[in-house]
Amino acid sequence: MNWNSASEFWAMGGYGLYVWGSFGVTALVMGLEVVQAFNRHKHIRESLTKQAAVQDSAQDWQA
């Protein structure tokens, strides 16, 4: 498609709201996925660190 002006590009032939809205929602969901994956990774590392500390203290107690 060819547009004669920037406003025609943003309007997308009358479908701009749907087009840019879908891009916005997609970007938001992808951004939230990255944040959620980072938080999940952080919590898993914390959990593993706690488990390792408990196992180390249990081994020290038995020795």
Average pLDDT over the chain, rounded to whole?
A: 92
Contacts of 51 (CB under 8 A, 6+ apart): none
Q: How many helices (H) and strands (E) does the chain have?
A: 2, 0
For the whole prediction, is pTM greater than 0.75?
no
Query: What does each C-alpha distance from 50 to 6, 25, 47, 54, 56 come to in angstroms?
Result: 56, 37, 5, 6, 10
Q: What is the pLDDT along the chain (63 residues), one digit of tens a residue?
A: 677 899 998 899 899 999 999 999 999 999 999 999 999 999 999 999 999 999 988 887 775
